[in-house]
Amino acid sequence: MDDSSSKRWLEFPRALWLSLVVALVLGLPTLGMGFALDDNLHLLIFEGRWPLGSPMDLFRFAGGDAEGMRLDLSALSNPL
């Protein structure tokens, strides 16, 4: 695409709305998926049931020491 055609697209009055509608249509199928992959772990952290971090520290999954990690893994196999 040359410079003039890209400029023409951005000057199209409905370009923003058209882009938003396309994004919404492409994202709609994911609404029915439910939790996937690490969502349950993030839920545990957010609820305060994961021993590491806090709700504001959602992406810290391990503390760094081996013994602590063993305890964390045993807590996962025996929830509550």
Q: Distance of CA 72 to CAs 1, 13, 79, 80, Å?
A: 53, 55, 10, 12
Q: Report the pLDDT value the prediction gives residue 66, as an integer from 0 to 100.
A: 84
The whole-model pTM stands at 0.41
Residue 45: CB atoms within 10 A of its CB come to 22
24-53 average pLDDT score: 84
Q: Report the pLDDT value the prediction gives residue 25, as an integer from 0 to 100.
A: 96
d(CA 9, CA 14): 9
Q: Is 69 exposed, middle or buried (0-12, 13-18, 19+ CB in 10 A)?
A: middle
Beta strands in the chain (DSSP E): none
Q: Report the pLDDT value the prediction gives residue 20, as an integer from 0 to 100.
A: 92
Query: Is 7 a residue whose pLDDT tops 60?
Result: yes
Query: Is 5 a residue whose pLDDT tops 80?
Result: no
Q: Per-residue pLDDT tens for 55-72?
A: 777 677 666 788 877 877
